[in-house]
Amino acid sequence: MKRILIAEDEEAIREFEVINLQRSGYEVIDTDNGEKALEMFDHYNGDFDLAVLDIMLPGIDGMKVCKELRKKSDTIGIILLTAKTQEMDKISGLMLGADDYITKPFSPSELVARVDALYRRVALNVMRSENKFHEEIKFGEFVLNLKNRALKKRGHIIELTQVEFQIMEYFFSNPGTVLSRTQILHHVWGESNKAEEKIVDVNIRRLRMKIEDNPSFPQHIITVWGMGYKWEN
């Protein structure tokens, strides 16, 4: 069963999410605050595929819940719900480990499409880890293990989110090739996803902080101005 955790303090919106996701085949566990969301995550021993979190939760807000969930699990898919006026919160949330965001107001079709797209990515990585999938991609001091979704640099493991892993896999599959923001967006988030291209830039920034010796002067994830990004070994 596809299980999703929802934290939304506005009852009408929460019921809207629950009804539409249940109709789409998800088991939904919902709450109206951040503290209960973390308690539920622990109560179910972290057995959630996805979490949809409103940023403006009472008590522990959605950003803090996102950060704590990411500490507890690097496999759960996390979507943040934001208002149009919360532009910086979108970027901050992505930097904390969220995989995607949806801007309010949103339609049932957009909610389900974004959740389904992220679930497919999560399920694919789980399938790879459970099956006999041992392929590794090696580039210099880096080794990307496609089975256990792990990246090593000089033998040390670098923890990656679902999105970060997919971006790295895309780079490693296309070394030296300039990949546009649109190409990366479509490859990772899906062509039907309405996310803005800035979500790519935020995740690139986060990846550089993890893999580059000096993120301010990257040697591996190179910006090609006016075109996109490329991987250099």
Which H/E stretch holds residue 11? helix 11-23
Residue 195 and residue 113: Cα distance in Å, rounded? 12
Range ranked top by mean pLDDT from 10-24, 127-141, 165-179, 193-207: 10-24
Do residues 110 and 7 share a domain?
yes
Structure tokens at 115: 């959740």
φ, ψ dihedrals at 159, nearest 5°: -70, 130
Among 94, 127, 160, give the residue marking a domain's end.
127
CA 232 to chain centre: 24
CATH number of the domain to which 137 belongs: 1.10.10.10
Do residues 108 and 145 share a domain?
no
φ, ψ dihedrals at 84, nearest 5°: -60, -25
Dmax (CA) of the chain: 52
138 pLDDT exceeds 90? no
Do residues 96 and 59 share a domain?
yes
Which residue shows structure tokens 């979704």?
Answer: 149
32-81 per-position pLDDT tens digit: 999 999 999 999 999 999 999 999 998 899 999 999 999 999 889 999 99
Do residues 118 and 24 share a domain?
yes
Q: What domain range includes position 115?
A: 2-127
Query: How many other CB atoms are there within 10 angstroms of residue 197's CB atom?
Result: 12
Do residues 82 and 164 share a domain?
no
pLDDT reported for residue 140: 84
Q: Mean pLDDT, the chain, as a whole number?
A: 88
Q: How far, CA to CA in Å, does 134 sit from each of 77, 127, 129, 177?
A: 23, 12, 9, 25
> Rounded to 5 degrees, what angle do the CA atoms 227, 230, 232 make?
145
